[in-house]
Structure 1
Amino acid sequence: MKLERLISMIYMLLNNEVISASALADKYEVSQRTIYRDIEAISAAGIPVVSYQGVNGGYGIIDSYKMDKSLLNAYDAETLITVLSGLSTVFEDEQAMDTVRKLQTIQRDNANPVLNLEMGGHPLYNQLLRDLREAITRRTVIQFDYISWKNERTKRSVEPASLKFRRQAWYLYGFCRERNNFREFKLSRISDMKVLAEHFQRRVELPPVERDPYQRNEGAESVDVLLRFTKRSLALALDHFNNQERTYHEDGSMTIKLQLRDADNTKWLIRVLLSFGEDAEIIEPASLRQELKMTLGKMMQIYSDEV
């Protein structure tokens, strides 16, 4: 197809100082007259193609349009292409894609990407990311409803400062006017976001503090927990507890040992284990087994009136 040939020719010109019309014609198995028409089309698209006369003449692209290959090696280019491609897909960033196309000119020949980042999600989620990025760039105040890790629902007015991708989730960092301080907000807990017409002056930003709601409280005791998972749930268990000590058994099951940093904060673990149904069991401690039994009892009461 002509479009594929034109794109390939652009990369050829970017990767070579000068290449003759006959060489291009041989490569793409077309006539030199066709190559001349293709060069005219590429030039019309705004790419500065130069014609060189003489025995060693041909076509090339002016050096100021090319990226200096001494600045980046092939590994650097591939890494940047991976990151920028992932971001450009989420944010529909044409400038990022232009950069990707330029980086591809110094990529290894026929290199297949060894990494692929998919940093987005549902189209509405991606739209939220784009709206937030625009608000950050334009320095406009935003309002939204937010559910905190304490399950408190509040309305926030925020001067957005930056977006952060961490632990497979996006976070917004900005100055919260209700709290009169910088705060971090998990995007999955944001709803009814509105971009206001009000602009703000950028404040001196504090480094974001990663708050762990399960972090051990000062003076609280830790506790060792032993969990057993059936063969049917190994993959899901490793997704949740991938950095913990594990033991595989002959029947295909697995036990995982972890340490709760705060023995008083076990609700999160109970909720995770309930998602496994009958495929997970608390071996120890007995107090945690009892807590799970009590939770199951309360759940049964919700449906106790049903026949």
Structure 2
Amino acid sequence: MKTERLLAITMILLEKKQISAPQLAKMLEVSVRTIYRDINSLSEAGIPVTSCPGVNGGIQIMDNYKIDKNFFTSSDITSLLIALESLSQNVSPIQTNQLFQKIKTLAPEDFLEEIEFKTNQITIDLTPWTRNHTLQPFLELIKSAMDQHRILEFGYEDNQGRKTKRTVEPYRLVLKEISWYLQAYCLEKADFRTFKISRMLDLDLSSSTFIPREFKAKPLGNEPFYGKNFTITTLKVTHKIKEQLIDKFGQLRFSPSNDSDRLIVEFPFMEDEFGYNLLLGFGNQCECLTPPHVRNELKRRIENLLELYQ
């Protein structure tokens, strides 16, 4: 969001004194043109930001400048606090509380009560229903490695059960739905790779450091819908399954079934393990009507499951 980015640019300029637009663009993962637009926005808001041309030039902020408390509105501060709270379960409580207090100092005292009220109106809880107690220590260790540019070593088990040893340069943590991923440069593969945190074993922070190389964030290659082709299936589902499908895939066209109180929906289905496991996970509350080959494959998998329990 633009508000968070403007705050980040201001804080970076106050800390670094001078930095180039391409460096800022790389740090914030936006275009140089966007950075210049943000600089104009800061100038219009009364922050004394200047740009010096030349090889040794860059963007800088006037010495001894302090942020005017009227720069951020109560809505701006509220948005920042809500965003921070949504990640508070995966950040050190002490660190979170300190950051909360720092952000609140950006607001005039007259707005504090209003901000407190608005912040409590929205809660974003990203934590799963069941807790992975090994996740938090791993995240803290990875964040330390990224801050200190230190090598990470760990065992890794892929989705086929194959185990390998990995030595990596960590660059980015990504939260995708309920799973955390590490994007890193793998020294064994001599390339950037994405690792699912829950598949890591014996994570260790090495004493060796590394010089950060150029890193460009990429979409997670193992996303369920990443680069896939869909098969349109006709499903007969209960109202409970309707709710789950809408939660995951957005609004779909549901129509009443002629022979029951269930609903008929055309569903974009992926013919892979994810897709079949998704439909089978709905149990007897979902029936695949068409196409025949998908229905037959579901029957085959159900029969194999029955054999397991004979």
Give the CA RMSD over aligned residues. 2.8
Q: Deviations over 1:63-93 (max 9, x none)?
A: x9x8522221111101111122333442215
Task: Flag the 1:123–1:227 CA change in 2: closer, same or farther, 3 A.
Answer: same
Q: Which moved more, 1:197-206 or 1:245-254?
A: 245-254
Q: Which residue of 1 is the match for residue 266 of structure 2?
A: 257
Q: In the superposition, relative to structure 1, how do residues 108 and 256 fare at CA in structure 2: closer, same or farther (>3 Å)?
A: farther
Unmatched 5+ residue regions in structure 2?
1-63
Instruction: Name which of 267, 281, 285 aligns with 1:275.
Output: 281
Q: Which has the larger radius of gyration?
A: 1
CA distance in 1, matches of 2:177, 2:155: 22
Alignment of 1:1-307 (within 5 A): 68-92=68-92, 94-105=94-105, 106=107, 107=111, 109-110=113-114, 111-113=117-119, 114-120=121-127, 121-148=131-158, 152-211=162-221, 212=223, 214-216=225-227, 222-240=230-248, 242-243=249-250, 245-249=252-256, 252-260=261-269, 265-304=271-310
**Corresponding letter in the other structure for 2:164:** T
Alpha-carbon distance in 2 for matches of 1:215, 1:95: 35
Q: How has the CA–CA distance of structure 1 residues 82 and 159 changed in structure 2, closer, same or farther, with 3 Å as cutoff? A: same
| SS class of match (1:245) | coil
Which ranges of structure 1 fall in alignment gaps of 5 or more residues?
1-63
* Contact kept in structure 1, 2:78 and 2:118, CA below 8 Å: no
Instruction: State whether residues 244 and 258 of structure 1, in contact with CA within 8 Å, keep that contact through their aligned partners in structure 2.
Output: no
Deviation (angstroms), 1:244: 5.1
Check the 8 A contact 1:172/1:187 in 2, yes or no: yes
Name the CA distance, whole Å, in 1 between partners of 2:189 and 2:251.
Answer: 36
Letter in 1 for 2:232: D
> How far apart, CA to CA, are the structure 1 residues paired with 2:190 and 2:126?
31
Report the Cα offset of residue 200 of structure 1.
1.6
Shift of 1:104: 2.9
Deviation of 1:214 after TM superposition, in Å, equals 4.5
Number of the residue aligned with 1:16: none
| CA displacement 1:29-85 (0-9 Å, x = unmatched) | xxxxxxxxxxxxxxxxxxxxxxxxxxxxxxxxxxx9x85222211111011111223
Question: What secondary structure sits across from 2:276 in the alignment?
Answer: helix
> Aligned AA for 1:227?
L
Q: Determine if contact 2:224/2:274 at 8 Å carries over to the other structure.
A: no
CA distance in 1, matches of 2:296, 2:208: 53
For 1:245, the aligned partner's letter is L
CA distance in 1, matches of 2:187, 2:196: 17
**Shift in alpha-carbon separation, 1:129–1:254, aligned structure 2, 3 A:** farther
Aligned residue for 2:10?
A: none
Q: What is the CA–CA distance in structure 1 between the aligned matches of 2:275 and 2:134, rounded to whole Å? A: 30
Report if aligned partners of 1:231, 1:254 keep a CA contact under 8 Å in 2: yes
Whole-angstrom CA distance in 2 between matches of 1:147 and 1:213:
19
CA gap 1:85/1:205 in 2 versus in 1, 3 angstroms: same
How far off is 1:226 after superposition? 1.5
* TM-aligned CA distance change 1:118 to 1:155, over 3 Å: farther
Work out the CA distance in 2 between the residues paired with 1:144 and 1:256: 45
TM-score (norm 1): 0.66
- Structure 1 residues 231 and 258, CA, compared in 2 at 3 Å: closer, same or farther? closer
The share of aligned pairs that are identical, in percent, is 23
Offset at residue 281 of structure 1 (A): 0.7
